């Protein structure tokens, strides 16, 4: 089949319209204001040029021109309707993750859209250039930013369904921020409208093929976009995505988030961008600690255990020392108590002996006195022997001298003998 060598479509009746497009856009000024200075790219809906606003000190901007090489007038009218709708949708949106529209006009039967210039590149070309998937943390960060802008779109009055979320429509600026571009098929959501069937294979959900897209359709497209960024592989059209089956480095949690987002039944997906963002953030809360951080934590824990162990051993030794000193003190107290008891006993015995001696001396004195007064009394020696005997018997019966001493005659146990007159 013959094709046009310029645009790759069927041959035209005459020269290709795209061949006459300003590829280098030099010295072309639109509306006497926007000077085209270079070609940025071409898509299904039109051509994008780098430009500068001559009225605002040559401020950089982007000019998007609707393609004009349609075969049928019906196709052109439909494209013009999409182009005008994009201008209408963007004019109502103000969000830091959406490219802002600056102007919209028609000139020489062509339609133009002027937007902010985003210094950056789209995710599709970035991944293709690097040749490998992005890290999971990076993809999750971008996905959260996209959830933020989708939540803004879906809660807008009326809600806006993006319908064309895919890596090539996600720009990353020089500060790492997400910017959604190309709102050509975005539309306000109306339940009773016969929607146009516009799809991007692999990124559009089943319901979008028959024109029944709603907010959950953008959730599906985000899940498919995450699959591409995590694996570097294009998602299979109309199939749930399992990034873990392609990239073993993807966590189970992220794999399940992508799988649920790309469920074929809209009721089984996340029902809102806010719900999906919450699921993505739960991954960051459960994120495993890096190996280096784990090693550092283990060393700190080991140090704490060693210090605690040393303190515990020191306490045990201190307790043993205190116990030993306590036992030693008790033993010393027992010895002192025993010595005190023995001392008391000795004192009592000494006191008893002293009293016995005093009693014996007293008896001897009395016997002597009687001997002088009664010359016929027995000799003192015999009386002294009797007194000594009595004292010895007293010591045997009361060695501690605890019994109170009686008067001299009673303590000896003798009564004065009855001395005769003759």
| CA–centroid distance for 41 within its chain | 44
Name the catalytic one among 68, 122, 137, 164: 164
Respond yes or no: is residue 137 known to be catalytic: no
Q: Measured between alpha carbons, how far is 360 from 257 in angstroms, rounded to an integer?
A: 118
Residue 126 neighbours by CB under 8 Å, 6+ apart: 172
Residue length of the chain? 422
DSSP labels, 222-283: HHHHHHHHHHSSPPPTTS---GGGT-TTS-HHHHHHHHHHT-SSGGGS-SSHHHHHHHHHHH
Q: Measured between alpha carbons, how far is 417 from 216 in angstroms, rounded to an integer?
A: 140
* DSSP code at position 266: G
Q: Rounded to whole angstroms, what are the CA distances from 169 to 200, 221, 394? A: 11, 11, 128
Q: Measured between alpha carbons, how far is 221 from 274 in angstroms, rounded to an integer?
A: 15
- Contact between 169 and 200 under an 8 Å Cβ cutoff? The reply is no
- Which residues carry out catalysis? 164
């Amino acid at each position: 089949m013959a094709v046009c060598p310029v645009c790759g479509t069927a041959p035209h009746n005459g020269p290709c319209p795209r061949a006459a497009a300003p590829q280098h856009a030099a010295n072309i000024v639109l509306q006497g204001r926007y000077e085209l200075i270079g070609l940025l790219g071409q898509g299904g809906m039109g051509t994008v040029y780098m430009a500068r606003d001559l009225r605002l000190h040559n401020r950089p901007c982007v000019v998007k021109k609707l393609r004009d090489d349609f075969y049928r007038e019906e196709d052109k009218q439909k494209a013009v309707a999409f182009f005008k709708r994009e201008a209408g949708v963007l004019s109502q949106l103000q969000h830091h993750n959406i490219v802002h529209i600056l102007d919209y006009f028609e000139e020489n039967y062509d339609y133009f859209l002027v937007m902010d210039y985003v210094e950056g590149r789209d995710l599709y070309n970035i991944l293709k250039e690097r040749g490998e998937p992005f890290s999971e943390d990076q993809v999750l960060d971008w996905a959260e930013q996209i959830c933020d802008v989708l939540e803004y779109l879906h809660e807008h009055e009326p809600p806006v369904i993006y319908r064309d979320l895919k890596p090539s429509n996600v720009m990353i600026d020089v500060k790492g921020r997400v910017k959604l571009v190309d709102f050509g098929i975005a539309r306000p959501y109306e339940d009773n409208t016969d929607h146009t069937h516009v799809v991007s294979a692999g990124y559009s959900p089943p319901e979008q093929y028959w024109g029944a897209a709603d907010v959950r359709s953008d959730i599906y497209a985000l899940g498919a976009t995450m699959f591409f960024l995590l694996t570097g592989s294009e998602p299979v059209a109309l199939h749930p995505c399992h990034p873990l089956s392609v990239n073993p480095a993807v966590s189970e949690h992220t794999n399940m988030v992508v799988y649920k987002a790309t469920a074929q039944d809209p009721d089984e997906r996340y029902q809102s961008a806010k719900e999906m963002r919450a699921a993505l953030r739960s991954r960051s809360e459960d994120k495993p600690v890096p190996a280096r951080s784990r090693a550092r934590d283990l060393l700190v824990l080991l140090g704490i255990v060693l210090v605690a162990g040393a303190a515990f051993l020191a306490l045990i030794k201190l307790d043993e020392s205190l116990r030993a000193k306590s036992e030693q003190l008790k033993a010393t107290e027992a010895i002192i108590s025993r010595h005190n008891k023995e001392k008391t006993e000795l004192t009592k015995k000494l006191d008893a002996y002293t009293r016995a001696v005093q009693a014996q001396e007293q008896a001897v004195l009395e016997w002597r006195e009687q001997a002088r007064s009664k010359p016929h009394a027995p000799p003192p020696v015999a009386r002294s022997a009797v007194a000594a005997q009595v004292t010895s018997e007293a010591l045997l019966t009361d060695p501690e001298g605890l019994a109170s001493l009686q008067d001299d005659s009673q303590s000896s146990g003798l009564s004065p003998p009855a001395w005769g007159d003759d």
